[in-house]
A and B are shown apart, each in its own frame.
Chain A
Amino acid sequence: MDAPLVRAARGGSQAAFARLVAMHEKPLRGFLRKSGWMDADDIAQDAFVAAWTSLGRLRADEGFRAWLYGIAWRKALDHRRAASRSARRDEDWRGQEAQEAATGVAAEDRMALEAALLTLPEDQRACVTLCLGQGWSHVEASQVLNLPLGTVKSHVARGRERLLAVLGDES
């Protein structure tokens, strides 16, 4: 689905790239936010700009999504090292979280899950978000996060267990 747009964007079409951004920005920002990055939008923006400049290096056009998430994850790790936080972005993010609360999960579940999610290690949080939240396969997640497949599987299983325990399900 991405391949024709990727080819057009590689040829210099900004319109095609804008469509790619529009298609992927929500899940990518969602992934980064759930993975605990307060400056998720900045990271996502950096990742898209980096993707634009290095589109020529993408080998398989169909693999755009995984490639983009890989860039974003590395950017996120770089951002953590830089440790710069924007108060305005943080406020925006909290506001949007409140908006999201109205659409899905019950408030008490949300608060408990958010607290529990923050207690998970960074890699585990990312694995859980990608595999349980966005339906990625373990193989895809291991490629994007540059983790062994077995580690991803165990992160997902343990993370799921801990989060379900918060919801009162010990299975």
Chain B
Amino acid sequence: MTPDDRLAAFLGEVPQPATSNIFVAEVMEAVEQRILRDRLLAGGAAALAASAVLWACSPILNLAVSALAPALIPVGGILALVLASAMLGNRLLVRD
């Protein structure tokens, strides 16, 4: 081995393979943490934007709800009745 070869061998040394799997796993764990953090930040930002939009539209929404509510009361009553009958019927079927 020439001195140049010895020098290149020394400078080109890499970590042992045994440590590589641990290192790759650590990197991928850090990547997943970063992805989760980014998703949480994006979700938080979206929720914030949606709440700002709803807050800005709240006067119109209030008007719409108060106008529609009287008309929706009978529909809501019927739906509640249907739901209650379905649940009761289901229980009876299960007992049989």
User: Which A residues have a C-beta under 8 Å from some C-beta of B?
Assistant: 14, 17-18, 21-22, 25-27, 29-30, 33-34, 41, 44-45, 48-49, 52-53, 96, 99-100, 103-106, 109-110, 113, 128-129, 132-135, 160, 163-164, 167-169, 171
Contact = CB atoms under 8 A, between A and B. Distances in A.
Interface in B1-44: 3-4, 6-17, 19-20, 23-24, 26-28, 30-32, 34, 38
A49 B30 contact: yes
A53 B16 CA distance: 27
B17 to A, nearest CB: 8
Contacts of A168: 3
> Interface majority SS on A: helix, strand, loop or mixed?
helix
Contacts of B13: 30, 34, 100, 103-105, 133
A134 B12 CA distance: 5
A14 B11 contact: no
Nearest to B15: A29
Given A34-B13, A164-B3, A25 B28 contact: no
B12 A133 contact: yes
B23 A105 contact: no
Given A49-B27, A96-B16, A96-B19, A104 B10 contact: yes
B23 A41 contact: yes
A127 to B, nearest CB: 11
Given A132-B8, A160-B7, A163-B7, A27 B31 contact: no
